[in-house]
Amino acid sequence: MISAYTGTQIREAEKPFLADGVGAVLMQRAAYGLANTVVHELRGRGRRLYGSSVAVLAGKGNNGGDGLFAAALLARRGLRATALLTAGAAHEAGLAEFRRAGGHVLALTADNIAELAAAAAGADVVIDAVLGTGAQGGLRGPAGALLERLAQTHPGLVVACDIPSGLDADTGEVNEPVLPADVTVTFGAAKAGLLADPGADFAGSVHVVPIGMEAALPEPALRRLEAQDLHRLRPQPVRRSHKYTRGVLGVVAGSERYPGAAVLACRGALAAGAGMVRYLGPPDVADLVRESCPEVVCGQGSSAEAHVQAWVLGPGVDESAGDQLQRIRDAAATGLPVVADAGALPALPRILAPHQILTPHIGELAALLAGYGVESDRARLEGATLAAARRGAALTGATVLLKGATTLVAAPGGTVFSQSEATPWMATAGSGDVLAGVLGALLAQLSGSATMDHVPRGDRWAAIAAMAASLHGRAGAMASAGGPVTATAVARAIPEVIRHM
Ligand SMILES: NC(=O)C1=CN([C@@H]2O[C@H](COP(=O)(O)OP(=O)(O)OC[C@H]3O[C@@H](n4cnc5c(N)ncnc54)[C@H](O)[C@@H]3O)[C@@H](O)[C@H]2O)[C@@H](O)CC1
Ligand SMILES: [K+]
């Protein structure tokens, strides 16, 4: 599991080390890790170190210090190194070491922005060390103008020192201008803002460099499940399992207008290993489900009487589908774990519980929040997804899975998971219906399972939702293999992903 922290948490954890006078040691470790990553990236691109060039954009704080020490290490390995001091002043020891290593120093002023931007853009590697966790807001003046110009020229390889400058380490909010990085080398632990959109769009691949203060870190602000977590938590049938103990899932989905959503939710659920799927819905939709998935048991009855362990509610249900809305309300009232998607979101009671998992995209979340009196437009929520997901969970009392390039799962207790295995090719109609089915199947299988004993009680529902997002993302990436992918193909790839866990 990857654990990520706010900048404030990291700075708190560093305090005792600074008090003991080992701040400089931490900085050396950070610089060493940063320089090593640059070397690795250059070699990976078939470049020789000797004769390559690096430009470090250095602010006046410790982030700039990290960058200058790293550039000094690179200069000693044969790179031509230039420092662009963006704030007049610079980290004293870092600058002295950079000069000793033979680095060339330029100071940014209001008059030489274009010249320095051209110099940086011409380097093989740009290290962005203007602002780190001490940033307050975004860059203005010459430093802002320099970053803006560089962002337009798309330099060769951009390596962000700790975080891309201007990105909020706590929230992932972006204070433009921010120079998008190919790689972010972050120190001590990942910062939450690197794993939430829109920050994740600017971070590139994130490398964590341990610097020796990790044992002092508190509970993470955000977590990400990795392959070994999926392996540990996955449902495992035992020799004497039968279909009812494997997890029976009820699905209330589809309408005359959107019958396909019911099929896709069922396909997702079957692919993710539900022991049995019961479908409830209008006769025409049930016929289609039966034809497409003969494994599904279809009916038109009430959800109050169905024997299931969990529910998927809402994919393809529109406001005109009166019977379906009644089934959704009855299912939600059973107290069983529920996935509430699309048409179910407006049909739920106001006060919910953590085992009720809402799966909105950003537009649906905006509508949901508006229902609680929080007016926020889609664009604003998109700029602050972490805060939006947390707000949704806190207001509703439910677990909120916010779909996006990075999927966030926020538990009402405060735990947040972030998964980002998906590919943009998965932004296709029906993909969310499959996710709802996958999540429903995991809920039906895992809600009473001993494998979840590994997870603190308050985090279990969110962990299951994060697992579903990860499975779905991995399946989509596998099925896409870099090209277009249909929702059906995503569902088809799920068993393969589970097999390889
Ligand atoms: N504290 C530590 O022990 C360690 C810190 N490290 C590095 O230190 C960084 C944090 O260092 P600092 O606390 O010095 O903070 P930063 O280097 O992030 O920046 C602080 C400086 O920038 C100025 N500043 C803040 N916001 C600004 C804005 N919007 N526009 C212009 N100037 C602005 C501040 O006034 C301050 O002078 C981390 O990100 C990391 O890179 C690492 O060296 C590891 C050890
Ligand atoms: K930075």
CB burial string 198-224: b at 16+ within 10 A, e below: bbbebbbebbbbebebeeebeebbbbb
Give the per-residue pLDDT at 151: 95
Q: Give the ligand whose atoms come closest to the C-alpha of residue 178.
A: 2
Q: Would you say residue 229 lies in a domain?
A: no
Give the per-residue pLDDT at 292: 98
**pLDDT > 90? residue 364:** yes
Whether residues 382 and 427 fall in one domain: yes
Q: Is 89 left (phi over 0), alpha (psi -120 to 50) or beta?
A: beta
Q: Would you say residue 32 lies in a domain?
A: yes
Mean pLDDT calculated for residue range 435-443:
98
- Cα–Cα distance between 279 and 299 in angstroms, integer? 6
- Is residue 63 in contact with ligand 1, taking CB distance under 6 Å? yes
pLDDT band at 456 (very low <50, low <70, confident <90, very high): confident
Q: How far is the CA of 13 from the centre of ligand 1 (A)?
A: 15
CA 361, 470, 9, 162 dihedral sign is negative
Give the per-residue pLDDT at 199: 98
Whether residues 258 and 327 fall in one domain: yes
On average, the pLDDT of the chain sits at 96
Q: Would you say residue 230 lies in a domain?
A: no
Q: Is 238 exposed, middle or buried (0-12, 13-18, 19+ CB in 10 A)?
A: exposed
pLDDT band at 303 (very low <50, low <70, confident <90, very high): very high
Whether residues 164 and 137 fall in one domain: yes
Whether residues 325 and 413 fall in one domain: yes
**How many separate domains does the chain show?**
2
The upper half-sphere exposure of residue 301, i.e. CA atoms within 13 Å in the direction of its Cβ, equals 10
Q: Would you say residue 232 lies in a domain?
A: no
Q: Is 439 left (phi over 0), alpha (psi -120 to 50) or beta?
A: alpha
Give the per-residue pLDDT at 237: 85
**pLDDT > 90? residue 236:** no
Give the per-residue pLDDT at 32: 98
Question: What ipTM does this complex have?
Answer: 0.98
Whether residues 11 and 133 fall in one domain: yes
**pLDDT > 90? residue 453:** no
Whether residues 300 and 405 fall in one domain: yes
- Is residue 131 in contact with ligand 1, taking CB distance under 6 Å? yes
Give the per-residue pLDDT at 457: 83
Of all atoms in ligand 1, which is nearest to the CA of residue 211?
Answer: 44
Q: Would you say residue 114 lies in a domain?
A: yes
Q: How far is the CA of 66 from the centre of ligand 1 (A)?
A: 10
Cβ(391)–Cβ(369) under 8 Å? yes
Mean pLDDT calculated for residue range 155-180:
96
Give the per-residue pLDDT at 106: 98
Whether residues 65 and 98 fall in one domain: yes
Mean pLDDT calculated for residue range 296-309:
94
CA-based max dimension of the chain: 80
Q: Which of 165, 191, 223 is the last residue of a domain?
A: 223
Mutate to test the pocket of ligand 1, among 133, 163, 167 (most ligand atoms within 8 A of CB): 133
- Cα–Cα distance between 23 and 20 in angstroms, integer? 8
Give the per-residue pLDDT at 118: 96
H runs (alpha helix) in 209-361 = 227-233, 260-271, 283-292, 322-332
Q: Would you say residue 471 lies in a domain?
A: yes
Q: Which of 192, 223, 254 is the last residue of a domain?
A: 223
Report which protein residue has its CA nearest ligand 1's atom 43: 27
Give the per-residue pLDDT at 238: 82
Give the per-residue pLDDT at 378: 92
Q: Which of 223, 249, 274 is the last residue of a domain?
A: 223
Q: Would you say residue 231 lies in a domain?
A: no
Q: Domain holding 330: CATH number?
A: 3.40.1190.20
Whether residues 207 and 247 fall in one domain: no
**pLDDT > 90? residue 299:** yes
User: Where do we find the tokens 């193909």?
Assistant: 489
Whether residues 8 and 46 fall in one domain: yes
- Is residue 164 in contact with ligand 1, taking CB distance under 6 Å? no
Name beta bridge partners: 401: 409
Whether residues 215 and 338 fall in one domain: no
Mutate to test the pocket of ligand 1, among 5, 62, 187, 217 (most ligand atoms within 8 A of CB): 62
Give the per-residue pLDDT at 332: 96
Question: What is the percent of the chain with per-residue pLDDT over 90, rounded to a whole number?
Answer: 92
Q: Domain holding 154: CATH number?
A: 3.40.50.10260
Chain segment 244-263, per-residue pLDDT in tens? 778 899 999 999 999 999 99
- The packing angle between helices 460-480 and 487-499, to 10°, is 110
Cβ(234)–Cβ(218) under 8 Å? no
**pLDDT > 90? residue 201:** yes
Whether residues 163 and 65 fall in one domain: yes
Q: Is 150 exposed, middle or buried (0-12, 13-18, 19+ CB in 10 A)?
A: buried
Minimum mean pLDDT range among 88-97, 230-239, 394-403: 230-239
**pLDDT > 90? residue 448:** no
Chain segment 369-414, per-residue pLDDT in tens? 999 999 888 999 999 999 999 999 999 999 999 999 999 999 999 9
CB burial string 116-127: b at 16+ within 10 A, e below: bbebbbebbbbb
Tell me which residue range forms the domain holding 104: 2-223
Q: Which amino acid is residue 377, in one-letter code? A: D
- Is residue 31 in contact with ligand 1, taking CB distance under 6 Å? no
Q: How far is the CA of 245 from the centre of ligand 1 (A)?
A: 54
Give the per-residue pLDDT at 322: 86
Whether residues 147 and 259 fall in one domain: no
Mean pLDDT calculated for residue range 446-458:
84
Of all atoms in ligand 1, which is nearest to the CA of residue 169?
Answer: 39
Of all atoms in ligand 1, which is nearest to the CA of residue 187?
Answer: 44
The full DSSP string for 409-462 is EE-TTS-EEEE----GGG-STTHHHHHHHHHHHHHHHHTT-GGGGGS-GGGHHH
- Cα–Cα distance between 489 and 479 in angstroms, integer? 6
**pLDDT > 90? residue 85:** yes
User: Where do we find the tokens 């020799």?
Assistant: 239
Query: How many other CB atoms are there within 10 angstroms of residue 349's CB atom?
Result: 11
Question: Which phi and psi (to 5°) does residue 475 adopt?
Answer: -65, -40
| Structure tokens, 313 | 């509610």
Q: Would you say residue 228 lies in a domain?
A: no
Residue 252 host element (H or E): strand 248-252
**pLDDT > 90? residue 454:** no
Return binding residues for AMP. Answer: 403-407, 432
pLDDT band at 75 (very low <50, low <70, confident <90, very high): very high
